[in-house]
Chain A
Amino acid sequence: MEKFTVHTGRAVPLRYSNVDTDQIIPAVYLKRVSRTGFEDGLFAAWRANDPEFVLNKPEFEGGTVLIAGSDFGTGSSREHAVWALQDYGFKAVLAPRYADIFRGNSLKGGLLTVVLDEQVIERLWDMVEADPATEVTVDLERREVRAPGIAESFELDDYTRWRLREGLDDIALTLRHTEEIDAFEARRASWSPVTQ
């Protein structure tokens, strides 16, 4: 996993709330067995059908910070949603609230999902729409989002922050505790079901 410390880039304002993972990447793109190359599936239906959709506007091309409405990433657990955002070039998402599974997936995979107040999101939307060249900084070191005239701190637990900054693989971390897993298994009820 790539380390995340501080990222500065242009932003893409997505003025929708309740964006489900079926919109982020439709099911038809989930048939692949690879781990990369999902950028073509990102918001595929909206990109194909709506010329006014924000990712179809040349002025927002190359944006790396997605600014979305509340309840971003609801629905299906597909981690492909995170991969599609990353493959397209996004490094961070800012929104007032996320669906739990999506948030978990994003923080596992190094896509920093930041929770900001609805009013701050509104101000960022207005600012970025007025000037698409506006740069937004997402600073994990200081847990702060900055843009011209805005410096908003955000919350993220120390453990997750440490993992993201170090780019650490969760599995390797857990495997350090194999003895504790062995001990737990030794005390499981004998009637616990097995599949084979």
Chain B
Amino acid sequence: MARTMAEKVWAEHVVRRAEGEPDLLYIDLHLVHEVTSPQAFEGLRLANRPVRRPDLTIATEDHNVPTENILAPIADPVSRTQIDTLRKNCSDFGVRLHPMGDIDQGIVHVVGPQLGLTQPGMTVVCGDSHTSTHGAFGALAFGIGTSQVEHVLATQTLPMTPFKTMAVTVNGSLNEGVTAKDIILAVIARIGTGGGQGYVIEYRGEAIRELSMEARMTVCNMSIEAGARAGMIAPDDTTFAYIKGRPHAPQGADWDAAVAHWQSLGTDDGAAYDHEVVIDAADLSPFVTWGTNPGQGVALDGAVPAPEDFASPAQRASTEKALAYMGLQAGTPMRDIRVDTVFLGSCTNGRIEDLRAAAEVIKGRKVADDVRMLVVPGSMRVKEQAADEGLDAVFRAAGAEWREAGCSMCLGMNPDQLKPGERSASTSNRNFEGRQGKGGRTHLVSPLVAAATAVRGTLSSPADL
């Protein structure tokens, strides 16, 4: 019977199936960070259980990382305790850890792929909802809670009920200046923040095939913002070329065997999805959010909507609430919105291609006087590569701050935060109330829009420069 990619990967990982119970699913790779793991390790200790497969587990420090003075002790004692706890747990349980100061430290979803640990057909989990990123390789990758982190540490499995499948097909090619971020923001605006609930989304079509691996990660990363636990893209030559030669990639005869297997993973012709969405790439343009959830987005060419633009009372109410929080008037052209801060980074857009794209725009220009721009590489390897390419000099010359690797201003857990009432253009993934700091106001944008906005001080695309 014809099957989708998600169904194939699921079937290959079923350890046990019994009537009336969830499937017991094997987990190939478990990524760990400091925020969602302490209580899980504590649970193991209390029950006197070991980590079953430390060799399928890897940890890094990211959420609490101060991106300045990364080698100094963390000033906030609570953050420092959380980092120290991770270090002790990894040492006690034999888990490989890349701590601050290590060249392989960085955001967990940047580190896995760059080490070659994320490969097609795998099951990948992490106590972090943006684990969906790894689906860009054709892996079934999804975020889990701390109870499940403990479950995977103890058993290397998870009891799971199968997802439904959704295809999002993007036909045609993207226009100049339109990026992966614009695709996914448009998808979320189209299907809503709950539209993907219960589904794994498979992204397909010409525009997806034409994306680089890093751009595919941006798309899959924000599947969760559409409510989907996981996003996937069928592995192809772009995928294989990205993985080949990385530290944990298969080699020699193993490589050939792996590629042969990976090529069998794509959705079969005639396989049925539970739901399908079709988008025409030609209709897409730079996209930005105006509200307080990622589905509240509009084309940069558009304007802030009014509550009465929406049909349902719930949407009207949430629009009203969002406009009040964001301090915006309905009808304001998006391009007239002035920002204080531009944040370039995160697991959504903190990879080398994102930095290159923004640097290309900002090269030879200056960040506007009243704007602060933070450039935060997703990992220390990305930082190193960017420095080798001279991108750090480009950003510094423009007046941007060049930082160390971490989650930074994507969420308010480290010193990089907005002050109450401050407004940002941010390449991260969530514009929730207070997400970037108490009272902060967030507009989600692509790296290209971030760079152009930094120069002009108002939401802009490179075409406006």
A150 contacts chain B at the CB level, 8 A cutoff: no
Q: How far is the CB of A175 from chain B (nearest CB, A)?
A: 6
Q: How far is the CB of A115 from chain B (nearest CB, A)?
A: 11
Contact A45 B433 (CB under 8 A): yes
Residue from B28, B39, B432, B433 in contact with A34 in the complex, judged by beta carbons closer than 8 Å: B39
Contact A78 B39 (CB under 8 A): no
B143 contacts chain A at the CB level, 8 A cutoff: yes
Contacts of A185 in B (CB 8 A): 26, 156
Q: Taking A181-B15, A189-B261 as contacts, is the C-beta distance between A18 and B193 under 8 angstroms?
A: yes
Contact B147 A177 (CB under 8 A): no
Contact A20 B293 (CB under 8 A): yes
Query: Cα distance A76–B429 when bound, in Å?
Result: 11
Q: Which of A69, A70, A99, A178 has the most CB of B within 10 A?
A: A99
Query: Cα distance A67–B198 when bound, in Å?
Result: 22
Write the B127-140 contact mask toward A (1 if CB under 8 angstroms, else 0). Answer: 11100000000000
Contacts of A173 in B (CB 8 A): 159
A119 contacts chain B at the CB level, 8 A cutoff: no
B29 contacts chain A at the CB level, 8 A cutoff: yes
Contact B430 A17 (CB under 8 A): no
Residue from A31, A105, A180 in contact with B15 in the complex, judged by beta carbons closer than 8 Å: A180
Residue from B47, B146, B197, B413 in contact with A171 in the complex, judged by beta carbons closer than 8 Å: B47
Contacts of B293 in A (CB 8 A): 18, 20, 74
A6 contacts chain B at the CB level, 8 A cutoff: no
Residue from B49, B128, B159 in contact with A77 in the complex, judged by beta carbons closer than 8 Å: B128
Residue of A nearest to B147 (CB): A108
Contact B258 A189 (CB under 8 A): yes
B212 contacts chain A at the CB level, 8 A cutoff: no
Contact B318 A30 (CB under 8 A): no
B22 contacts chain A at the CB level, 8 A cutoff: yes
Contact B147 A105 (CB under 8 A): yes
Q: Taking A31-B78, A171-B151 as contacts, is the C-beta distance between A77 and B143 under 8 angstroms?
A: yes
Write the B192-222 contact mask toward A (1 if CB under 8 angstroms, else 0). Answer: 0110011000000000000000000000000
Q: Taking A22-B430, A180-B15, A190-B254 as contacts, is the C-beta distance between A159 and B20 under 8 angstroms?
A: yes
Q: Which of B50-58, B264-272, B352-360 contacts A (4 or more CB under 8 A)?
A: B50-58
Contact B24 A174 (CB under 8 A): yes
B35 contacts chain A at the CB level, 8 A cutoff: yes
Query: Cα distance A183–B400 when bound, in Å?
Result: 54
Q: Taking A75-B430, A101-B143, A180-B24 as contacts, is the C-beta distance between A195 and B156 under 8 angstroms?
A: no
Contacts of B38 in A (CB 8 A): 33
B238 contacts chain A at the CB level, 8 A cutoff: no
B96 contacts chain A at the CB level, 8 A cutoff: yes
Query: Cα distance A188–B190 when bound, in Å?
Result: 40
CB interface residues, A 96-151, toward B, < 8 Å: 97-101, 104-105, 108-109
A40 contacts chain B at the CB level, 8 A cutoff: no
Write the B12-37 contact mask toward A (1 if CB under 8 angstroms, else 0). Answer: 00011000111010101100000110
Q: Which of B79-87, B178-186, B362-370, B453-461 contacts A (4 or more CB under 8 A)?
A: B79-87
Query: Cα distance A101–B127 when bound, in Å?
Result: 10
Write the B225-246 contact mask toward A (1 if CB under 8 angstroms, else 0). Answer: 1010100000000000000000
Can you name 22 A-B pairs with beta carbons within 8 Å? A16-B321, A17-B314, A20-B432, A27-B412, A30-B413, A31-B64, A45-B434, A75-B430, A76-B411, A79-B147, A100-B227, A101-B144, A101-B229, A105-B145, A170-B159, A171-B150, A174-B155, A174-B159, A180-B15, A181-B155, A192-B122, A193-B28
Which residues of A pack against B, CB within 8 Å? 16-18, 20, 22-23, 26-28, 30-35, 45, 69-71, 74-80, 82, 97-101, 104-105, 108-109, 157-159, 170-171, 173-175, 177-178, 180-181, 184-185, 188-196
Q: Which 8 A-B pairs have the closest CB atoms?
A: A105-B145, A79-B145, A33-B38, A191-B254, A77-B143, A191-B250, A79-B146, A108-B147
